A and B are shown apart, each in its own frame.
Chain A
């Protein structure tokens, strides 16, 4: 078992997440482990452990959470969140942690690629003439290739 160094704890990190209505409430976690028990990813890969993420969060281990790849294994299935007896929004929190990790440039290639596609065309898949021909063939209406206004909205920020 690894020793936890109190010096690694970042109280501002705990406070920042706990003060948001969307991610707050994780201090209520009493380590029952219901989250991990129901987690489909944990069954396939034991080192993925939502309870561990919640404990790391309560202890303020910002660097360890945001630099590791654990959070990126969450499948976003919401099983842990729905099962949590303390109603900790575990999945919403992990999703927010993924955002914070992205800012530290910790992001899987596939997720980064999706983000680029969306910002370049407003959609994941470009609908080209070939697609529209196939759509027409089965009687489906044509669609525009990309959505300029959505691109603009994301760029103007």
Chain B
């Protein structure tokens, strides 16, 4: 199975741990990533100030994948949502499509509507299948209690996503963890935003939203958080220390990307999964898992 890998702006520059771990587990799951030369920003950061510019950027990226005959795999939820929404709007609005194609013709491109955009997690669920994930699991991680943060654009707006998950009661990411033998735990405000997009207009509000969520994750007794978007990671992982200082709280909650957690269950190394690049240290978590595995080995003898 082949997909054009859409990295976007943030992942290759700031979230190499996500890229590394996604590439690492994809190769174990027979998902081949093709690096398409010339992909730009997805268009999302332009949506608030220049909607048409955002659609044009999105459409150009779709054209590049079409030329290669590849469906797109996006790792970032904002990229997945922007590219899916762009395709949705171009497919459902003929006059918009004509206008966009007129602009694209200036760089020798045309949007035809022949490919599909999916988030990495959706590909794991729909194309690879959970059975294949189960087959690849080597370590027993049922002792690991994980709080999943779905974030917003992985699920919403739901009208572009063909009902692949339910934003009112999302399950897909936890089903993947469950297949990897990991224990999902529930916490208050699970469906809430990370606050990230408000950073540009009111930093205090953004950090308050993230702080509230970290508080509930801690209260629920999670060993770590699971997420699928580099902006959510920025809020909970990179900004966690700052939030602790600003609000006088103490969290020390490791924040892992979905393929980092699944990769641990597959027995991949910390280097392969880029765990050394996480802001909140994951070492204690890894040692606890190793100790538990040892204990179980001894118990079994």
Contact = CB atoms under 8 A, between A and B. Distances in A.
Interface of A: 21-22, 40-41, 43-45, 48, 69, 72-73, 75-79, 81-82, 89, 91-92, 95-96, 98-99, 102, 107-108, 110-112, 114-115, 118-119, 122-125, 127, 131, 134-135, 138-141, 143-144, 147, 149-150, 152-154, 156-157
B20 interface: yes
Given A76-B197, A78-B152, A135 B12 contact: yes
B9 A124 contact: yes
Interface residues of B, number: 61
Interface string B86-114: 00010001000000000110110000000
A45 B104 CA distance: 42
Contacts of B198: 41, 73, 75
A110 B41 contact: no
A144 B204 CA distance: 35
B89 A22 contact: yes
Nearest to B213: A40
Nearest to A125: B13
Given A96-B51, A99-B49, A140-B19, 10 more contacts: A44-B204, A75-B152, A77-B193, A95-B51, A111-B201, A125-B10, A131-B13, A143-B12, A147-B39, A153-B103
A92 B39 CA distance: 25
Given A77-B152, A152-B107, A44 B13 contact: no
A123 B79 CA distance: 12
A147 B40 contact: yes
A81 B156 contact: yes
Contacts of A123: 9, 40-41
A99 B57 contact: no
Nearest to A114: B45
B49 A76 contact: no
B192 A111 contact: no
A114 B156 contact: no
